[in-house]
Structure formats: structure tokens, C-alpha cells
A = this chain, B = another copy of it.
Amino acid sequence: MSRTDLVARVRDFVEAHCLPLESPAHVHDPAALDAALATLRPIARAQGLYLPQMPVEQGGLGLGWADRAGVFEEAGRSYLGPGALNCAAPDQPNMISLLRQGNGEQQRRYLKPLADGDIRSCFAMTEPAPGAGSDPSMLRTRARRVAHGWVIDGHKWFITGAVDARFCIVLAQTDEGPTQFIVEMDAPGLQLVRAIRAIDPFAIGGHGELRFDACRVSDDAVLGEVGQGLAYAQQRLEPARLAHCMRLTGRARRAVEIAQAYVCERASFGQRLADLQQIQAMVADCHIDLHASRLMTQDCARRMDAGEPVKTESAMTKVFVSEALNRVADRAAQMCGAFGMSEDEPLALILRELRPFRIYDGASELHRATLGRRFLNTASRT
């Protein structure tokens, strides 16, 4: 199946199966969301659309980054699409981490059922003040060595996917440096304090607050090498951001599709809204933003496929795309008036889904400061 065919088939799958299942009843209800995904995954699998990002030997479609772009965008038109294809965060980047850093036993125990869609997982890095927010050097969760294992103490929050996850990959400080551990969610000493209600309504597994109180894990809980956790986290972030850009481009595009259909139907003051120049300009700006977003994402994807460093491109892409998609969704909702503010169509919900993207994975302000310093250092060296 060619890449174009695949994209078209994902589009059809989303139209036929995901959109009809969408419901405001899923808002802040991880269990309902999981149930919908459970319905959709067998269909995606049967249609050959499942696990696009994983190697063929792991049961995936083996797509590279550039080929994922179109597939993830089509899936992302529905908030159910990426989960249905099992390419949603945080399981998608967790699978990559397990593939790269996991040993055979870890892959058998965690990667296999994750790829099969039998379990879910989360990634526990962010901490409440004064711990690690954007700055991982402030990490306060600690793991200390004991006989045959480690004891973890700490406090994490905004851990997306935590509700009903089977395990988490947790980043903790050790005497040898930050380290990744795989901790099963029912481990003694690990408590899911609550699901934090955030503005985005459809996060799979919600956003959890976790406490580790003398949580004991064995030696084989270490994922990758001791002391390399920060390096792993950074390797994880660039592709994770890019996958978000792909999926959310689809989500914003869906808002535009709804708005375009609306303004072609609805009239006011004797004119179809679509015939008003302000509306036309808003539509044009939506497509310009989507076009630029796609090109930046694809450029970064191609560089990643080629093994080039993308530190700068990835940050520029994250800043631009997250802000562009928010503009797109905002215009789309505005074009639909009161209707765009209701939950009768997903416009207002898409606004809420997209807003945190300007913060999660590094706030725009943080990226701008880092990028600016990098460009200025290069300039002054020349």
C-alpha cells in the first residue's frame, strides 16, 4: 500500500468510525474514552492501519517520520483517531523509549502489551513547584539504592495518561544522575492522588498527580543506563513534540472544515457568510497557517529520517505550529458565532484541546529564549 493510499484509508477510517463515536460525554471521562478506543482498535487493525509508527517486527507499519506526518494528521482530525491507531501520546513515545532503551525482558513485559493495545502507560517527569517544571535540573524526586533495588520518593503532576495506566516511566534523581525507572502503577508506595482537571477535555488517561512514598522497585526497573535519564528525556522530547504537531494539525484542520461548511450554509444581513470578505480572509489565513505548519513539520521529519540533528528546527517548529494551530482553531470558532461556542459541534472543544500545546513540551517563551540565545551565540562566534 502506497503512502498516499494509506493516508486516504486513514481518512476514510476516521470518517466512518471515529467521528460518529465522538461525544461530549467523553469530556473528562477517561473510562468512557478508553471504551471508545477499545471499540475502534480492532477495526483499525483489521484495516491495516494500526501502529503506523512501530517497526514491522513489532507489529507496526514501519513508517518513517516523513511518512507518519500525513497519517498522524488524518488520524488527528478526531480526538479518537490517534488512540484508535495506537499512535497517541504518551504511549507512542513510551514505545519508542522501550524500543531504544528497554532490555529483552522489559520489552516482553511492557512493550508487547502496549503495542498490542492491552495496557496503557504514562511518563512521569513534571513536578509541582519548587520541583522540575520546564527545567529538568530542578528534579526533586529521588531514588536511592537499597539492596537489590531502589526506593523512590517524590511528587509528580500533570502526568498525562496516569488514570488506569499499567505502568509509568518515572524520571528520578540518583547519586549517579537522573535515571529512568519503570514503575507499575499498583506498586506499594505509589499513589495516584487525583486526576487534575485541565482545560483539554480528551486526554487519554487524564492528567494525574502521583506521590511516591518510599516506593520500592527492583534493579530491573531501571530503563536504560543509570544516570542517563536526562539524555533519554531530551531524545524523547524532540520526536514527541513533532508527533504532537502532526496530530494536532489534523485537529485544527477539522475545525476549519466545520467552519467552512457552516459559513457556506449560514446567511446574515442578506449575504451568505462565505461571501463576506472578512470571512474569506479568515479562511485564507487558516490555510496559510496550516500550510506553513505542515511544511515545517515535514522538513523536521525529513531531517530526523536522515539522522540529522533537529534541536533548532524542532524548537522552531513547536513554537510556530502550536501558535499557528491555536490561531486556526480560534478563527474557525469565531466564524461560527454562538454555534462555535457550543459543544454541539467540537469547535469549542478543539479550542480547549489545542490551548495547552503552547505550554506542554516547553512553553513558547522558554523555546524563544533558548532559540534566541543559540542564534546569538552562533552570530557572535562568526
The answer to whether B274 touches A277, judged by C-beta atoms less than 8 angstroms apart, is no
Q: Which of A223-231, A232-240, A355-363 contacts B (4 or more CB under 8 A)?
A: A355-363
Q: Give a binary string over A190-218; 1 marks a CB under 8 Å from any B CB, 0 the rest.
A: 00000011111000000100000000000
The answer to whether B284 touches A375, judged by C-beta atoms less than 8 angstroms apart, is yes
Copies of the protein in its oligomer: 4
Q: Which of B281, B338, B358 contacts A334 (CB 8 A)?
A: B358
Most buried by B among A126, A278, A296: A278
- Which residues on B sit within 8 Å (CB–CB) of A313? 291
Known: A133-B268, A338-B158. Contact between A372 and B196, CB under 8 A? no
Q: Which of B157, B196, B266, B282 contacts A133 (CB 8 A)?
A: B266
Q: Does A316 contact B (CB under 8 A)?
A: yes
The answer to whether A283 touches B372, judged by C-beta atoms less than 8 angstroms apart, is yes
In the assembly, what is the distance between CA of A285 and CA of B315, in Å? 11
- Which residues on B sit within 8 Å (CB–CB) of A198? 338, 341-343, 348
The answer to whether B359 touches A200, judged by C-beta atoms less than 8 angstroms apart, is no
Residue of B nearest to A200 (CB): B341
Known: A199-B348, A295-B299, A334-B363. Contact between A342 and B372, CB under 8 A? no
The answer to whether B268 touches A376, judged by C-beta atoms less than 8 angstroms apart, is no
Residue of B nearest to A265 (CB): B129
Tell me, rounded to whole Å, the shortest Cβ–Cβ distance linking A142 to chain B. Answer: 19
The answer to whether B277 touches A276, judged by C-beta atoms less than 8 angstroms apart, is yes
Known: A278-B281, A282-B372. Contact between A379 and B260, CB under 8 A? yes
Q: Can you list 21 A-B contacts with CB-CB less than 8 angstroms, sorted by A residue number?
A: A129-B266, A130-B267, A134-B268, A196-B344, A261-B380, A264-B379, A274-B373, A277-B372, A278-B278, A278-B369, A281-B369, A284-B369, A287-B371, A288-B316, A291-B316, A292-B320, A334-B365, A338-B359, A341-B356, A341-B360, A351-B355
- A261-B379, A341-B359 given; name 9 further pairs at CB < 8 Å: A137-B269, A199-B342, A260-B376, A261-B380, A277-B365, A281-B365, A291-B313, A334-B359, A338-B356
